[in-house]
Amino acid sequence: MTTPTAHPTSNTVVIVGAGPTGLWAAAELALAGVHAVILEKRVERSPHARALGMMPRTLEILALRDAVEPFLAAGRPVPAWHFGLLEQSVRFDTLTTQFPYMLLIPQTTTEALLEQRARGLGVDIRTGAEVTGLDQTDSTVTVTYLQAGRTHHLDAALAVGSDGGRSAVRELAGIPFEGEASSAWGFVGDVHLDAPPAPGTRIVRPDGALIVAPLPDGRHRLTGWDPEHQSADEELDLETLRGFVQRMTGTDLGLRDPSWLSRFGDANRLAATFRRGRVLLAGDAAHIHWPTGGLGLNAGIQDAMGLGWRAAAFVRGSQPENVLDDYAVERRAFGEALRTSTLTQSALIRAADPSALAIRATFNRLLATPEGNASIGNWLAGLDDGEVQGNY
């Protein structure tokens, strides 16, 4: 791979992947006058909402662009959330922010609103376009993709890999994805509950973890960890979920009619670098973790915000190439903090032996203090990276 030393002649940036990260990065680039092209391999969006929450810092970012209102109108604020399924909630309403809450909003709605904004700013979104190749020279990066059975090549000043945890861009750029493979599997079930438990119910015991959250369509999301079902290739079915819920709560909560049953691993990985020459990584392509605490989508949009203006400044010639390194250094440091936070949470969730349970009790005790709540709360909310915020 070569490193660019001169400003590019092309005004195009190719963004691979139209998830939340790619959509916000593309919108930021277009806002700054750059020709932004998104290549997305899917033709239709997934009907399943993975993320359900937007954190205070993400809402602040949207507000910086006068873009937050449609999200606020579509979501519901919740003043408290959990860290590692601790019994003591993290309260956002005591934090110093314009948005002292987490916004409950399904990822499907978030993506639809982000796409609307990107299209409105003139982003060229090409669907059914799967990226298969990447080539860099001193002056350009060429992205190869397949669309409708034909191979296409697109020259650009920069390529952004926002193509998720199995990122082809990361692979093609030869960037190692450092960390650990999955050794534990959690589950998610979106179901109807005839007898739902109290709002905010969460149970953590040595024999499993369960959190129940209401969904906008009247269903509930059951998420958790069942130590009795930990083989990698097992699929979740309704009866297994029913048995687990019965064991944890003493009743099956009247669960029926699932719209989504799935499992996820606890792999925790961070890209060795977020930049190689003219290729930048962001979002899940750069960091993956057990989806706990509601952080991945938020981290992706925050990456995209840090990337957008810098990539635009480089492409338009107003900043030297080390502005791209600033992005890579700043957001990789954030990725390291994300790794610490999510590893801590998955250890807290799976606490089973006396010493691990004692650590949970200690965290609960700390979180009950204003200082402890502010420390963990600002971390979860994305508000403790003061240097990053100063750069927008």
Ligand X SMILES: Cc1cc2nc3c(=O)[nH]c(=O)nc-3n(C[C@H](O)[C@H](O)[C@H](O)COP(=O)(O)OP(=O)(O)OC[C@H]3O[C@@H](n4cnc5c(N)ncnc54)[C@H](O)[C@@H]3O)c2cc1C
Determine which helix (DSSP H) or strand (DSSP E) holds 30, and give its type and residue range.
Answer: helix 20-31
Please name which of 28, 93, 109, 46 lies closest in space to residue 302, comparing C-alpha atoms: 28
What three-state secondary structure class fits 43? coil
Q: Which CB sits closer to ligand X, 7 or 126?
A: 126
**Shortest distance, position 194 Cβ to ligand X, whole Å:** 23
Q: Which CB sits closer to ligand X, 145 or 314?
A: 145
Q: Which CB sits closer to ligand X, 40 or 60?
A: 40
Q: Which CB sits closer to ligand X, 125 or 319?
A: 125
Give yes or no for a contact between 125 and 40, defined as CB atoms under 8 angstroms apart: yes
* Cα dihedral 197→203→209→212 (10° resolution): 30
| Integer Cα distance of 296 and 90 in angstroms | 18
| Range 256-288 burial, b when 16+ CB lie within 10 A, else e | eebebbebbbbbbbbbebbbbbbbbbbbbbbbb
Chain residues that interact with ligand X, rule: CB under 6 A: 16-22, 39-42, 50-53, 107, 130-131, 162-164, 168, 188, 264, 283-284, 291, 294-298, 300
Q: Which CB sits closer to ligand X, 78 or 95?
A: 78
What three-state secondary structure class fits 381? helix
* Cα dihedral 320→322→328→334 (10° resolution): -100
Give yes or no for a contact between 225 and 349, defined as CB atoms under 8 angstroms apart: yes
Give yes or no for a contact between 229 and 203, defined as CB atoms under 8 angstroms apart: no
Q: Which CB sits closer to ligand X, 39 or 351?
A: 39
Q: Which CB sits closer to ligand X, 272 or 366?
A: 272
**Shortest distance, position 41 Cβ to ligand X, whole Å:** 4
What three-state secondary structure class fits 23? helix
Q: How many CB atoms lie within 10 A of CB 250?
A: 8
**Shortest distance, position 294 Cβ to ligand X, whole Å:** 3
**Shortest distance, position 5 Cβ to ligand X, whole Å:** 28
What three-state secondary structure class fits 132? strand
Q: Which CB sits closer to ligand X, 147 or 319?
A: 147
**Shortest distance, position 24 Cβ to ligand X, whole Å:** 8
